[in-house]
Amino acid sequence: MPHLKAAISRTLQLALVLWAVVTILFLMFRLMPGNPMAAYIDPTFTLEQQQALMAQFGLDKPLWEQYFIYIGNLLQGELGQSFRYREPVATRIWALLPNTLILTFSSLILAYTFGILAGAYLAWKRGGVVENAAIPLVLTTRAMPEFWLGMVLLAIFSFNLGWFPAGGTRPAGASYDSLWALYTSREFLSYLALPALTLAIYSQGLPLLLMRSNMLDVMKEDFVTMARIKGLSNWTVVVRHAARNALLPVMTSFAIAVGYQLQGNVVVESVFSWPGLGRELVNAVSASDYPLAQGAFLMIAVVVILMNLIADLLYALLDPRISHA
């Protein structure tokens, strides 16, 4: 019974958070300076055209009415039509979301695999020359702006060495039978490499430092001492006993990092001409394309909320001591 109750209250909370996000998004873009008509200003732009556009976009109605129409459409799963592209917002988001997700997850998996291994290693080798060199290095990579890092990688690996292409997801004019065929092709990996590496270098600091400090804590605990007394090898103690326990918080931070990463994508997608949601978001905001901006932000908010939920559930699953009671 307590499980059901917890599930209901969780769902209600979620609905409340989503409603708040939707309302803030709706008001935010409309209160921002700017006007969606700006894109149409032209010597042949007439008053009739302006009025027709306002009506078409639904901007001729009072704000509260626009709000209720928007909420009503959302409840029917309808995100509206983009002002700029004149096509359904959902179509546009679905076309771009896979590219963003693949970039996000590949870079995060790279960052977390490296971060966990290196963090555990640094904890194991505590107090050595390696640690003295590695910690400042990690902090430096954490402080580098992503666009700068991206430009540096572009200049070195693409323009000077010619190892990787400079932008896009595929060679010019190449066609693939399906998205799957594209994503599993060698060319795609070569296009993915630099943007994913940029994001990975930027993101590896968190799991690395987190893993290291968790390991240092865990290594002091009684069960580790117990294991050592039992005469287990150093490797078994560190990997089988300490690392497994230290990993828990790192795994949940992964879920939350997905949300943060979506923001970082905005910059990297522009540097590497990656056709993702982040770039579209910037365009939509600057062009006052309310429906598209709302839709894209909502999509990111949903991913963040979802990942937080998964993080919560994961905690309970991985560590039975934590419950929802």
Site of interaction with another protein (CB under 8 A): 33-35, 37-39, 41-50, 52, 56, 81, 84-87, 92, 95-96, 151, 154-155, 158-159, 162, 165-170, 172-173, 175, 270-273, 275, 279-280, 283, 286-288
Minimum CB distance to another protein, residue 75 (Å):
20
Nearer to another protein, 28 or 313 (CB): 28
Nearer to another protein, 248 or 282 (CB): 282
Nearer to another protein, 34 or 128 (CB): 34
DSSP 159: I
Minimum CB distance to another protein, residue 162 (Å):
6
> What is 48-117 written as a DSSP string?
HHHHHHHHHHTTTS-HHHHHHHHHHHHHTT---B-TTT-SBHHHHHHHHHHHHHHHHHHHHHHHHHHHHH
N residues, the chain: 325
Q: How many Å apart are CA 161 and CA 88, to the nearest integer?
A: 42
Minimum CB distance to another protein, residue 182 (Å):
10
Bridge partner list, 88: 81
Minimum CB distance to another protein, residue 270 (Å):
5
* Spatial contact of 147 and 267, defined as CB atoms under 8 Å apart: yes
- Biggest alpha carbon–alpha carbon distance for the chain: 87
Minimum CB distance to another protein, residue 158 (Å):
7
Nearer to another protein, 50 or 113 (CB): 50
Nearer to another protein, 284 or 311 (CB): 284
Minimum CB distance to another protein, residue 288 (Å):
6
- 2: its two tokens: 């307590």
H helical segments located in 169-276: 179-183, 186-203, 205-219, 222-229, 234-236, 244-271
Minimum CB distance to another protein, residue 52 (Å):
5
**How far, CA to CA in Å, does 164 sit from each of 30, 152, 197, 308?**
42, 13, 12, 35
Nearer to another protein, 46 or 132 (CB): 46
Nearer to another protein, 51 or 140 (CB): 51
* Spatial contact of 196 and 110, defined as CB atoms under 8 Å apart: yes
